[in-house]
A and B are shown apart, each in its own frame.
Chain A
């Protein structure tokens, strides 16, 4: 009985100690694994800030976009690809794509927009309507005929809708306001859907 009691008494502190040791062990494990997890996270954050999947080659992420230019040989719009900085939003990328469109072709195509044109802002609404605001140069620096005005408008609209899934239709503003036309022909009061029939096959 006494022996049994003694065993029982002895085993109780042993259990308590064992329990405490186990709890301590768990805490230590949690502390270290938690700490390691935190360190790994910080490592990733610090070195590949925006897109971990492209961590291999270049530091800055790029997006390849297709721009629409004019050829001297026919009446169609011609595609040319260009790399722009990616992200963070579709609107930011759209602004960069349009700036490249204004900057012109690297393959000898002609520009549909006056070179002085500035892209003031692109806003993309949730319903897919992109509103593009150009500086007044887009209207003032070129005496448009029907063909050149159609080319200017659809180079912009096609570039945006072709490259950005978030954009379905485009409204063009000039210097922050609505305007009838760029040069007396194409109606700017409504949103444009893209017209790929003007694009060379």
Chain B
């Protein structure tokens, strides 16, 4: 009895130590990994029957966003060593949840959603870059404080195969841990858009956009210009302007990476 009790204690201690060492090693490895961005996910807004904003000359947001996204993908692949994943590469419907899930499943290091704006006012003009507004409940704010210091937990602790409420809650607030980095990324991209497009600079803004909420990495939503503004619609439809938008986002991205490395 006495021997077996001691043995049991010894075995437990050994197992516990081994487990802790394993956990520490994994956490360390993941922390190291998280610093190095390997994949950039680009999200061409809308698609399929979901057209997004419409211009007076018939241009649709979904077509312009895909076109700019493909140009941005080419630029990043040519000049940076990242894998680029598109949430859609043709004119199809993809739900917002599937878009953020795609980003998380590909272990996205950065997420950029491309849009063209629409307003009721015909005169509304310019480019702007959004990151997520939190509008969090007290409970979420408490979790946020924890996650800000332990952002790797999101990726290590959520097993995508489980489909319970906890996982839903955690994914639903995945972006909260990255809001500071997202705001910095938005800032750099907006500076470049401002200098390259010659449009009114509407600055960086926060909004409760669905697409950004579930993404577990720094994430922004770029509004290249207003489709509802006839002048800007014609610009958005042109190849040259789309190239400039892609180039501006690419430069902003490069500035952000320089700062974080």
Contacts and interface: CB of A to CB of B under 8 A. Distances in A.
B121 interface: yes
Interface stretch (B4-12, B83-91, B112-120, B178-186): B112-120
A96 to B, nearest CB: 23
Interface of A: 70-75, 110-112, 143-148, 150-151, 180-181, 183-190, 192-193
Contacts of B119: 75, 145, 147-148, 151
A110 B228 CA distance: 15
B173 to A, nearest CB: 10
Listed from nearest, the 5 A-B pairs whose CB atoms lie closest are: A145-B118, A145-B53, A187-B210, A147-B119, A143-B54
16 contacts: A71-B121, A75-B124, A145-B53, A145-B118, A146-B115, A146-B130, A148-B119, A148-B228, A151-B120, A184-B210, A185-B115, A185-B207, A186-B207, A186-B208, A187-B208, A187-B209
A188 to B, nearest CB: 8
Interface of B: 45-46, 50-54, 61, 95-97, 115-124, 130, 135, 172, 202, 207-211, 213, 221, 223, 226-228
Contact of B46 (A72, A184, A192): A184
* Secondary structure type dominating chain A contacts: loop
Residue of B95, B130, B209, B227 most packed against chain A (CB within 10 A): B209
Contact of B117 (A74, A145, A180): A145
Residue of B96, B116, B208, B226 most packed against chain A (CB within 10 A): B208
A110 B96 contact: no
Nearest to A75: B124
Given A112-B120, A145-B227, 9 more contacts: A75-B202, A110-B120, A111-B120, A145-B117, A146-B130, A180-B97, A185-B115, A186-B209, A187-B213
